[in-house]
């Protein structure tokens, strides 16, 4: 009997597909060169028009919007100056309400990015807090006196590099920021701060949003004594975030208490989801803790195993197997290939593995993401095979990471993965109609070849492969909730795994190379497999289990 632990709880955030939108560059409705909410509304039918047999829509179930609140946009929205309003860049609260309504009409849930580790330094809380030592909000951020020599209070760093402390003249004190200096971390130890944030969370839930993606959700709490973080013994640069053991500024017990409190609020509302960025460089184990001891914290912790994997079957399989082992009973995993902080997977993998078959990688990666046990999260444009734009002129760079260190250079700008969505081969790739306007970031030069309109017409396009996989997932219980089991113990050329419930078994075969001979370690019945999705075999045909695969074959078969 196959243990089917989750079959009785098929909620949308477990079985659906989530699609991340970067609002600056998804669709521009007013022609100013910058994406906006009206633009997203216009493209909802592409995402899901509500018709399960649609010929033109992708069929996703939820959108996650990178931040749309008012912001001076130094970190492009991850620096909020008003949690209750929408940035003029993207539209108005009324536009957001329409977006919510139009999405819900089509069965699309809406998830907001919640940036509550820090605010912008333009937020009125910080303006007040930084004005003096004795104002009512003086304790709403992390203020510390200088060290006896006038220097920074301790060795805590910014994730972007260099010290995380910035001096403030009015208070003659330093404040701490995990990211840029214009993103001061709020003091979660203060009950008034908590109350203010929780009130704001209710505001958006009352509006009808279906959940949140918590930004940087493992660094909310800080040690109340501001103790030094130990430096790793092999560190060659103590100004680098990853060279410290983050004992006192990350993953504190109080942090889990905060997430539990937010979860309690979420649970008062029906069917909402809490996703959390357990932070880049958390190990899988650290991230698993974020489900909570009683599954009472995050529904879906974000972990970065695929983004940090090389394109190699053995490695990828080990990451999946680890996640299978570490996901607690009753909890649910999520997976993603790309997001707005990292190079897109085709840029990472095609270049780094010197692979000459980008289409093969795109199809194989799509198949893995959409057939593992866990919620898949797509990043806009990956479904058409967008790659990073590596030719953005310096004066057009939008990502302004500030590093306060003499030994550290600024990390690469993240703009390459944030360029306009490529809708068609018209001006600005159909992203913006403003002929004479400059788009927020330059459109990738390959837009005439790589775009939605062209790929919708081509049955063999990456986009149509994604559409087929998403439909297969929708229509097959085993792909939605079935157990995962590998049929090759030490994969070198191929992945072969099954997803199964008592009712159904689906077999996924992926060839990473030109190697044709397929050897699986386990006996599995050979006849009568129906082809669900394949880049080689005829869909719907009943076949015997193949003993050889074509080069870069990706086939999903059902019994």
Q: What are the residues binding ligand NOJ (CB under 6 A)?
A: 75, 78, 115, 179, 215-216, 277, 340-341
Retrieve residue 440's tokens. Answer: 């927020």
Three-state DSSP class for residue 168: strand
Per the residue annotation, which of 49, 181, 215, 319 is the catalytic one? 215
- Beta carbon nearer to ligand NOJ, 67 or 482: 67
Minimum CB distance to ligand NOJ, residue 400 (Å)? 10
Alpha helices in 208-268 (DSSP H): 253-268
For residues 379 and 419, the answer to whether their CB atoms sit within 8 Å is no
Minimum CB distance to ligand NOJ, residue 333 (Å)? 19
- Beta carbon nearer to ligand NOJ, 57 or 66: 66
Minimum CB distance to ligand NOJ, residue 127 (Å)? 19
**Alpha carbons 2 and 503: distance in angstroms, whole number:** 9
Minimum CB distance to ligand NOJ, residue 131 (Å)? 24
Concerning whether 113 is annotated as a catalytic residue, the answer is: no
DSSP state letter for 340: T
Per the residue annotation, which of 36, 49, 277, 297 is the catalytic one? 277
Cβ neighbors of 475 (< 8 A, separation 6 or more) are: none
For residues 204 and 112, the answer to whether their CB atoms sit within 8 Å is yes
- Beta carbon nearer to ligand NOJ, 250 or 454: 250
Q: What are the C-alpha distances in Å from 524 to residues 338, 447, 516, 550?
A: 34, 44, 19, 20
Minimum CB distance to ligand NOJ, residue 265 (Å)? 21
- Beta carbon nearer to ligand NOJ, 27 or 402: 402
Alpha helices in 290-357 (DSSP H): 313-326, 345-352
Output the residue with the shortest Cβ distance to ligand NOJ.
Answer: 78
Residue whose C-alpha is closest to residue 160's, from 62, 72, 79: 79
Q: What is the largest CA-CA distance in the chain?
A: 77
**Alpha carbons 284 and 289: distance in angstroms, whole number:** 9
**Alpha carbons 36 and 529: distance in angstroms, whole number:** 46
Retrieve residue 204's tokens. Answer: 């958006």
Concerning whether 277 is annotated as a catalytic residue, the answer is: yes
**Alpha carbons 154 and 174: distance in angstroms, whole number:** 10
Minimum CB distance to ligand NOJ, residue 176 (Å)? 14
Minimum CB distance to ligand NOJ, residue 150 (Å)? 28
- Beta carbon nearer to ligand NOJ, 179 or 291: 179
- Beta carbon nearer to ligand NOJ, 215 or 455: 215
Minimum CB distance to ligand NOJ, residue 188 (Å)? 15
DSSP state letter for 234: T
Retrieve residue 381's tokens. Answer: 């444009």
Minimum CB distance to ligand NOJ, residue 379 (Å)? 11
C-alpha dihedral over 251, 253, 255, 256, to 10 degrees?
100
- Beta carbon nearer to ligand NOJ, 279 or 423: 279
Q: How many CB atoms sit inside 10 A of residue 536's CB? A: 16
Three-state DSSP class for residue 59: coil
Retrieve residue 247's tokens. Answer: 């004992």
Alpha helices in 119-252 (DSSP H): 124-129, 191-207
**Alpha carbons 441 and 381: distance in angstroms, whole number:** 15
- Beta carbon nearer to ligand NOJ, 305 or 477: 305
- Beta carbon nearer to ligand NOJ, 179 or 220: 179
Does the CA dihedral 352-358-360-365 come out positive or negative? positive
Residue that has been written with the tokens 């390459």 in this structure? 416
**Alpha carbons 164 and 403: distance in angstroms, whole number:** 9
Does the CA dihedral 146-147-149-152 come out positive or negative? negative
Provide the annotated active-site residues: 215, 277
């Amino acid at each position: 009997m196959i243990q089917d632990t989750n079959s009785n709880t098929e909620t949308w955030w477990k079985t659906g597909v989530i699609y991340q939108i970067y609002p600056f560059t998804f669709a521009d409705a007013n022609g100013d060169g910058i994406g906006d909410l009206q633009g997203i509304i216009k493209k909802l039918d592409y995402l899901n028009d509500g018709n399960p047999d649609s010929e033109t829509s992708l069929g996703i179930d939820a959108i996650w919007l990178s931040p749309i609140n008012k912001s001076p946009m130094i970190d492009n929205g991850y620096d909020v100056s008003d949690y209750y309003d929408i940035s003029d860049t993207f539209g108005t609260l009324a536009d957001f309400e329409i977006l919510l309504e139009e999405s819900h009409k089509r069965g699309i849930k809406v998830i907001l990015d919640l940036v509550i580790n820090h605010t912008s330094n333009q937020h009125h809380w910080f303006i007040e807090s930084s004005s003096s030592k004795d104002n009512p909000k003086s304790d709403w951020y992390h203020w510390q006196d200088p060290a006896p020599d006038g220097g920074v209070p301790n060795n805590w760093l910014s994730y972007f590099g260099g010290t995380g402390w910035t001096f403030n003249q009015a208070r003659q004190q330093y404040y701490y920021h995990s990211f840029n200096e214009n993103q001061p971390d709020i003091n979660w130890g203060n009950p008034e701060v908590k109350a203010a944030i929780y009130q704001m969370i209710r505001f958006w839930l009352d509006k009808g949003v279906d959940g949140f993606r918590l930004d940087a959700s493992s660094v909310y709490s800080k040690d109340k004594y501001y103790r030094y973080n130990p430096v790793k013994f092999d560190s060659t640069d103590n100004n680098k975030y990853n060279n410290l053991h983050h004992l006192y500024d990350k993953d504190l017990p109080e942090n889990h208490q905060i997430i539990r409190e937010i979860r309690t609020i979420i649970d008062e509302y029906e069917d909402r989801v809490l996703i959390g960025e357990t932070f880049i460089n958390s190990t899988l184990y650290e991230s698993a803790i974020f489900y909570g001891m009683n599954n009472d914290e995050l529904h879906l912790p974000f972990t970065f195993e695929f983004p940090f994997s090389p394109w190699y079957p053995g490695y990828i399989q080990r990451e999946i197997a680890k996640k299978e082992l570490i996901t607690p009973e009753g909890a649910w995993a999520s997976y993603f290939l790309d997001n707005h902080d990292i190079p897109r997977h085709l840029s990472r993998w095609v270049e780094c593995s010197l692979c000459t078959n980008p289409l093969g990688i795109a199809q194989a990666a799509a198949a893995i993401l959409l057939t593992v046990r866990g919620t898949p999260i797509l990043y806009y444009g990956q479904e058409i095979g967008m790659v990073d734009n590596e030719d953005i002129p310096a004066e057009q760079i939008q990502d302004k990471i500030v590093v306060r260190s003499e030994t550290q250079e600024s990390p690469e700008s993240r703009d390459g993965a944030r360029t306009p969505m490529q809708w068609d081969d018209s001006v600005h790739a159909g992203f913006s109609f403003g002929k004479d306007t400059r788009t927020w970031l330059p459109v990738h030069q390959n837009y005439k070849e790589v775009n939605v309109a062209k790929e919708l017409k081509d049955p063999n396009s990456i986009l149509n492969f994604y559409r087929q996989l998403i439909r297969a997932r929708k229509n097959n219980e085993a792909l939605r909730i079935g157990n995962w089991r590998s049929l090759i113990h030490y994969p070198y050329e191929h992945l072969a795994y099954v997803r199964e419930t008592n009712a159904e078994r689906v077999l996924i075969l992926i060839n990473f190379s030109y190697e044709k001979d397929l050897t699986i370690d386990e006996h599995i019945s050979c006849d009568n497999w129906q082809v669900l999705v394949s880049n080689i075999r005829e869909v719907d045909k009943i076949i015997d289990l193949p003993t050889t695969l074509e080069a870069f074959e990706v086939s999903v078969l059902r019994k």
